[in-house]
Structures are given as C-alpha cells and as structure tokens.
Structure 1
C-alpha cells in the first residue's frame, strides 16, 4: 500500500504520484443539487471535461446573482403595476401629460387634494356686496385688504382719483368706507400694501405716490412725486420689502425706498409696461408689445433679457399680468385671454409648463387675476364680466358648478380681484365691479 503524501495522490494505473490539482484525479460524486433552480444546477454540477468544480466556492456567488435577478424582476413587475395605477389616476384627474418620467406619489396626493379643494370652491353658493361711499360714483379700479393689529384694513381707489380706506375688527361685519382722499382728476390704477403701510399710485401726466400708514395713531399721510418728466402714466406697480417698481410708459421705474425715494433708476423696455413682478434682485416686466423681460438689479445699466419669446410667432399680444408662483414658475396673462405658467429655470423655452384655457378677452388691458395665499387656486376676470376658477396645479379648462355664483355675470367690468385668508383655512375672494365690492366666502355653504 503506497503511503499518503501531502498534496499528492497515487495513481494505480500509472503506478506513480500526481499532484492533487491534476486533471487525472478521479471524480468524486458531489452533494445533491436538486434543491437549486434549474439555472443554478448547471452551475453547481461538475463540468463535462472532468474538471473539479469547487461547489463550496461558487455556490454563494451564484445564489447572490440569482437573488439579485429575482429582486430586479420584482422591482420591474411592481414598477409596471404602479405606473398603470398612476396612469389611471392621472386620467381620472384629467391630466394629459405623456412624459415618460417616474412620477412621485407625493405630488399626486398634493394634486388630488388641490383638485378636491378647487371643486369645493367652485360650488360656492353665496356672495355678499358692500357699497363704497363714493362721492362721484366712479368705478373702482383698485382694491387691497390686509389683517393688521387684530383689524382688517382695506383700501380702494376709483377712476375719479378718490382713495378710500376702512378699518374694522376681525369679528365685525363689513361696512361702508368712511375715509376718502381726493386726487382729482387722476385715477388710481393700483393700490399695494407694505408690511405697515399702504401705497397707492395714480394714472396721469404727473406721477404721484400716496403713503398711508396702517397704524391708527400715526398721521404720517403724505403724497410724493417722481421728479422726472419722462415718468408718466403709471399702469401698474409691485412692492417688495422697501423697493417699489412702477410700470410706466416705455420703461419700468425702480424706487429702492418707497417712503424716502432714496434711489431711482430706470429700465428701458421700448414699450409701455402693463405688468411687473419681482423676486429678490430680479425684476420681470410684461409690455404692451407682448414681451416678458428680466432685469437684474445687481448689474448696473442693465438692458434686460427677453425670456419665453419666440421670434417666429406674432408679437403685440400684450402681457397684462405677471405673478411668481412656487418660487420658480411665472404665471402670465395676455390680452387675448391666454393664461399660462412658465418655468423660470428655462428662460429660453417658449413652451408653458401649464396652460389655462377658457378665459375670454380680446382688447381689455385691465382684466385682473388672483392667486390664493396657499397657491392652489387661480381666479381670472374675463371681458364677458365673469370670474373663472382653475386649479393652479393642473390647469386645463375652468372648473364649473351649476350651483355656483361664479356662473352669474356682473353688470359692470371687473377691475380688481384679491383672495384673503381671514382666518386659518377660511378664504374670501374680493372683487370690484362698478362702484361696488363683492365678497365670495369660498367653499362655505352658509
């Protein structure tokens, strides 16, 4: 009997020793592989050439690979099912987007909640009216309301140049306006609110700015003028912090301190500015020529950049309103009644992110829009003297309810809209038509 030598084995046929790794080593039946899948049995079985197959070495790797394949198959199957559910859900919401990216379920929940809220608001059955003690019975062109020191301050301006103010308690019913200030013969196209003061601008050959403090004990009521002959016909205005931007003839005027007029600079647009809005150091203007321009206040003598413009399309579709939503989207309205939302991160794109259809206008430059403080609803006044409602997240056609008061047209054109959150979760829509104010208790049955 030959001796056992480490690393060698004895071959009886050759009558000599061979290394253990040699292919001449006789094959020994391995453990059963019947418990493995068919794909793994071929990997675990000895090779046909007679080579030794180390099952203990390759089995963990094969099992891991099979497990990963199973996980991938599971993910693909459930992703396809989830995509089917998402597609059905988007169809139920009326969404027609065909983009191929994987939607987030959280966004769909937000959209669903917004859609339900919009349908509830669309069914508002009641409207209250409040008359303004106008000395001349002129049409109201501007309105703003704000809560300050447990009181509701509201202000209005009319075409006769009169400015009206009202202060009531939170729990008191709305009453007529009792304070007036005459600016005749100019009209007041815009009233805007600072944190502790109200400012109003006048339309006419001489530009005026009214400063009206909200503090009842303060008597610092004053009127200032822009000392520049080229500044006239203030069409609109926007206030942020202490900076006031005026939309005037052929340019936008920036006043860094509205109370003291510390610095005044001019941004040439080449066309009358009908709409302005600002976000930190960036100012956006919409002009009579249908152009949206962007100005950076950190750059001296900036000429502005045209954004969302298509030179191949017809211009002169005047931009009547601009508003920034969600910090990165720009809501625009044009004189032809179109409403759209654009992505400010892609200023060269002319394709809107969302379009709102069904609004009616052909030539009126003063058709207001309003967005609620939570940025869920969009209200727009049409040339047909009706107010329409859209979901700000889904767009499309306006929401209509047969029992809603929004179906009834006004007798006079609508010149101002504002959504105010009077209490937590309680919204009210203010609208002006003729010399009267109207208030919608949004979504409330009583």
Structure 2
C-alpha cells in the first residue's frame, strides 16, 4: 500500500492508492478507521508523519464502524458484528462475530455505557447489551434488549440517525421520506403522525412557504420529504435543543425546545 502526502495552507491531504470500495469512516480522537471491502483499516495517529494503514480482516464489506478506547466494532454487509481489540496482534482471519442481525449492518452507535444501537438494511433498529454479546457458534441471531419499530429501509447503507445529548431520544431518517423518533428508555415512538402529511420537496429552489432562514415551523414528524434526509444531528445551544437535517442542498433546523413527549 503506497500513499502520498500533499500539504497546503489549509491542511494535509493523504492520497492512498488501491483502497478497495471505501464505505464508511470514523474518527476517534486521533485514530481514524476506514471501512473497506473485506477489511477495516486504521491510522493510529493522524497527527504523526507515519500514516501507514493497519488492516483487520473482516471477510465482508464494512458498512459501519464504532470505536471506543482500544475496541473497534465493525458492522458488515454479511449482517455480522465483529469486535477487534486494537492492542492485540492482527490475525489473517476474521474473528467470530459477537452477534448476527437480520440484515446488513448500516449504523453503529453507543447509547449508554453498555448499550449499542445497531441499524440494519432491512429497517431494523435494535439495542444490544454489549456485556452479553460474545462469539457463540451455536446461535444464528442474538436477541436485542430493545427494538424501535417503524423505521423504513430496504437497500440504503447510509440513512442517518441522531441522538439527543442525553441519549434519551433517537431520531432516524427513513427510506420513505419520513423522520421518526423513539424513546431509548422505553422503545416507544414519540413521533406519531397526526394525520395528512404535507410534502416537502427537497429539490425545490423555493421553500419560503416552509422556512425562514431554514428554521422550519412545520412538524418534522408530520412531513413527508421527497427524498430521505441525508444527515441528522442534534445540538444544544443556550439551553435550547435543535434538530438539524440535510435535505438536498439545504440544512434545515427545528427548535425542539421542550416538546411534549420528546425532551
């Protein structure tokens, strides 16, 4: 694996050759991990001059990554979740999966200390307790401790999810153009539609009927977007909580405040 470092006034760009099918990436402190075809690769410290990639064999495309301390979790197209200890020597073979889901794993994120959210390509959104996930060749699937019903997906590997800063509410953008939310304490939906839904055209050049400086007054959970939102985030600013969503070439903002049932 060869790479070239290109320096400029705006920073450093590293150009690698022969990187097969980059699906995802994740930055944890100074450690960068990249999900590739059949392996997960990482740079231990992006601030060092030695930017050589280290590889862990997975045996399937890595569609999602999650890092914490010395552990690396990889969600695979094959529907398996692998866990690597980055302190141990690398193996020429992938480890046994710590759990297997119903479909390709598209999202991994930590909810609370021992709870890992796993999103799958068939629309499953499940919460697993990592204290009880371990390689078990006798099991074909691991049962989640909680499931969030209603999310829609069928083929996209990058539908976004987001959490409130307290990690008590989960948001997810569906393939059907809907935005949904659930309580991570109970698993119950907190975003049920109240009736007929207005359509928000994400490709429209004029959205003045919906927005003032992209701050929307419409209820995002009662709206059907013509395309799935491509990114989601939740921010707290001056005591207020905002939900941000990328729709087409626009970033939309909703003031969640202390909306009943949400916060």
Aligned equivalents of 1:211, 1:285: Cα separation in 2 = 31
Alpha-carbon spacing, 1:372–1:324, altered in 2? closer, same or farther (3 Å): same
Per the TM alignment, residue 388 of structure 1 is displaced from its structure 2 partner at its CA by 0.2
Structural mapping, 1:35-434, within 5 Å: 219-226=9-16, 228-229=17-18, 231-260=19-48, 261-302=50-91, 303-309=94-100, 317-348=103-134, 350-400=142-192, 402=194, 404-424=219-239, 426-434=240-248
Aligned to 2:210: none
Aligned equivalents of 1:396, 1:265: Cα separation in 2 = 41
Higher mean alpha-carbon deviation, 348-357 vs 382-391, is at 348-357
Give TM-score, length-normalised by structure 1.
0.47
Aligned to 1:439: 253
Aligned equivalents of 1:355, 1:275: Cα separation in 2 = 19
What count of residue pairs does the alignment treat as equivalent?
Answer: 226
Aligned equivalents of 2:109, 2:5: Cα separation in 1 = 22
Aligned equivalents of 2:6, 2:237: Cα separation in 1 = 26
Aligned equivalents of 2:5, 2:179: Cα separation in 1 = 30
| Secondary structure in 1 matching 2:34 | strand
Aligned equivalents of 1:207, 1:259: Cα separation in 2 = 15
Give structure 1 stretches of 5+ with no counterpart: 1-205, 213-218
Aligned equivalents of 1:237, 1:211: Cα separation in 2 = 21
Aligned to 1:115: none
1:317-370 deviation per Cα after TM superposition (whole angstroms, max 9, x unaligned)? 110100012121110000010100000001148111111001111112121111
Q: Is the 8 A contact 1:207 1:232 kept in 2?
A: no
RMSD: 2.6
Give TM-score, length-normalised by structure 2.
0.78
Aligned equivalents of 2:115, 2:59: Cα separation in 1 = 25
Q: Is the 8 A contact 1:296 1:304 kept in 2?
A: no
Aligned equivalents of 2:30, 2:24: Cα separation in 1 = 17
Larger strand proportion, structure 1 or 2? 2
Give structure 2 stretches of 5+ with no counterpart: 135-140, 195-217
Q: Is the 8 A contact 1:411 1:433 kept in 2?
A: no
Q: Is the 8 A contact 1:370 1:380 kept in 2?
A: yes
Higher mean alpha-carbon deviation, 431-440 vs 396-405, is at 396-405
| Secondary structure in 1 matching 2:221 | helix
| Secondary structure in 2 matching 1:345 | helix
Aligned to 2:209: none
Aligned equivalents of 1:380, 1:369: Cα separation in 2 = 4
Larger helix proportion, structure 1 or 2? 1
| Secondary structure in 2 matching 1:406 | helix
Aligned equivalents of 2:33, 2:40: Cα separation in 1 = 7
Alpha-carbon spacing, 1:297–1:277, altered in 2? closer, same or farther (3 Å): same
Aligned to 1:99: none
